[in-house]
């Protein structure tokens, strides 16, 4: 590790490194592997440097999850921007984003992060609030019950893959779900 007293202070870079290393640890070793010491060591900062950016491990985990939601948001927005049909555009983007995490059989690189909300009430609240806001924002185009069914089916497909339940033809299911988002 560089001598922290001689290194030029770059708080944005240090914070990003802490977030990235924590996310990597969650993905590679699980949520339990994220400790102040492990993340500090991986990012090459002292525990004091860690605490300057995050007052606790939980604050770091929350920040990592918020960062994940920001990535998902940007991905959904980009997908929607390229969709010429407004009706169902959020649901199509959601289906594609969720199913793009399926192919590796482990839920994709964000699986461990996105599953962490199942065991943490605070993260569940963040997820629920984030998702509810997206649904409010896109209610005019994606408020139909039929589109909710499609989103839930995509979630189920992703969870089935994560659980190791074989799906005969994921591509056919994807096409079917996307087609179900089109106006009748």
CA 144/CA 87 separation, integer angstroms: 10
pTM of the full predicted structure? 0.80
CA 84/CA 182 separation, integer angstroms: 11
CA 61/CA 23 separation, integer angstroms: 8
Measured CA angle at 96 (ends 173, 166), to 5 deg:
40
CA 172/CA 163 separation, integer angstroms: 20
- Cβ-contact 144, 182 below 8 angstroms: no
Q: Which residues contact 172 (CB under 8 A, 6 or more apart)?
A: none
Q: How many residues does the chain have?
A: 184
Q: Tell me the per-residue pLDDT of 170-180, one tens digit each, with 9 for 90 and over.
A: 889 999 999 99
Q: Tell me the per-residue pLDDT of 104-152, one tens digit each, with 9 for 90 and over.
A: 555 455 666 667 777 788 988 999 999 999 999 999 999 999 999 999 9
């Amino acid at each position: 590790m560089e001598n922290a007293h001689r290194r030029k202070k770059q708080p944005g870079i240090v914070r990003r490194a802490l977030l990235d290393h924590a996310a990597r640890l969650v993905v590679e070793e699980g949520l339990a592997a994220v400790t102040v010491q492990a993340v500090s060591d991986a990012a090459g900062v002292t525990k004091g440097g860690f605490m300057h950016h995050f007052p606790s491990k939980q604050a770091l985990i929350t920040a990592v999850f918020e960062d994940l939601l920001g990535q998902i948001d940007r991905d959904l927005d980009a997908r929607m921007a390229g969709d010429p049909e407004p009706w169902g555009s959020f649901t199509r983007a959601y289906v594609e984003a969720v199913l793009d995490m399926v192919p590796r059989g482990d839920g994709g690189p964000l699986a461990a992060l996105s599953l962490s909300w199942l065991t943490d009430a605070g993260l569940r609240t963040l997820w629920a609030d984030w998702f509810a806001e997206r649904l409010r924002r896109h209610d005019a185009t994606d408020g139909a019950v039929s589109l909710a069914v499609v989103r839930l089916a995509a979630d189920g497909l992703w969870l089935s893959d994560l659980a190791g339940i074989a799906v005969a033809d994921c591509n056919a299911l994807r096409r079917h779900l996307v087609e179900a988002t089109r106006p009748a």
